[in-house]
Amino acid sequence: MRTGVGYELISADRTCPASHFAGRSRSPVHGSNMMLKQRLSAHIGYLLTELPFPERVAAAAEAGFTAVEHPQPFGVEADQMFLDLKLHGMVFSQIAAGTGDPVKGEKGLAALPGREGEFRDSFHQSLEYALRVGCPLIHPMAGVPGRIDPAEAKRTYLKNVDYAVEQTSGLPVKVLIEAISHAAVPGYYMSKLDDAVIVQDIYGPGNVSLLVDTFHAAANGVDLIPWVAANAYRIGHVHIADHPGRHEPGTGQFPFEQFLQALVTEEYEGAIGFEYIPRTDTNSGLGFLRAWKQHPASSIAAPGFDITARGQI
């Protein structure tokens, strides 16, 4: 079983080339001293929305998932979430921070100048929740800068990511960056995998992992099969949605079998999350899940930490 190695924190004013990290670890360590069984993770902000939020962990377990994720799960208090996860043999795979005001349609704060205080408050809230429920990854959402000067948006984003990395140093929770395509969120600051790689190389894969989403990659024209072969060590989490349409696997044209085989070949050790828009109701679209659970990609060990050993900031 490959567990990887840790990396020292690299100052944000020094960019290390990708070659500095290549070959040292194919899957970053998330501060873990315990390896959990590979998880198929239900994004319960997209799936099972037919149910009240507090009922979705149990429903996800009943459907056959072994993990859940949600950007802002605060509708269920952390201690209760911990108990629900333990009761159903589940883990919480990733959480977000700095999401902004959903009423205003905001998709993040990290790249928005003048909102740094809000970002930090949100980050601390999410980090404390992650520690209390045993969640290994936290995603600072970049947001949509709009007419903000691109150079200022970049400075703000790196400043906030730098803060996030600093706050997670030495903790079993690490920073996760996702490239969200403009096909899904027009104007999103961090929209391309190449840009996410550049940010990751500032800090190293042991401090910042990448969330690779099949829909966003396909929408941007990225062929993930060779990309995974060259960059598996960068990946901390995977999101599954078909393309086009962003629905269940099998509803579009994405080559999932080849993608899963690439993950197996490269010994990917993270969770596989399902963040798609159900074509009808969630349960009617879960016919694919049984076959996915039998795939070799679902038998790899995934990084995590013992959720019975919770901590607080």
Q: Catalytic site residues?
A: 178, 275
Strand residues in 49-136 grouped as ranges (E) = 67-69, 91-92, 95-97
Which amino acid does the sequence have at 155?
R
DSSP at 19: G
Please tell me the distance from the alpha carbon of residue 128 to that of residue 287, in angstroms, as a whole number. Answer: 36
Largest Cα–Cα separation, the chain? 50
Please tell me the distance from the alpha carbon of residue 168 to that of residue 149, in angstroms, as a whole number. Answer: 29
Instruction: Tell me if residue 40 falls in helix, strand or coil.
Output: strand
Instruction: Tell me if residue 58 falls in helix, strand or coil.
Output: helix
Angle between helix 116-133 and 150-168 (nearest 10) = 30
Token code pair at residue 233: 């060590």
Specify burial of residue 58 (Cβ count, 10 A radius: 0-12, 13-18, 19+): middle
Closest Cα partner for 199 from 221, 217, 177? 177
Closest Cα partner for 60 from 43, 81, 36, 77? 43
Specify burial of residue 114 (Cβ count, 10 A radius: 0-12, 13-18, 19+): exposed
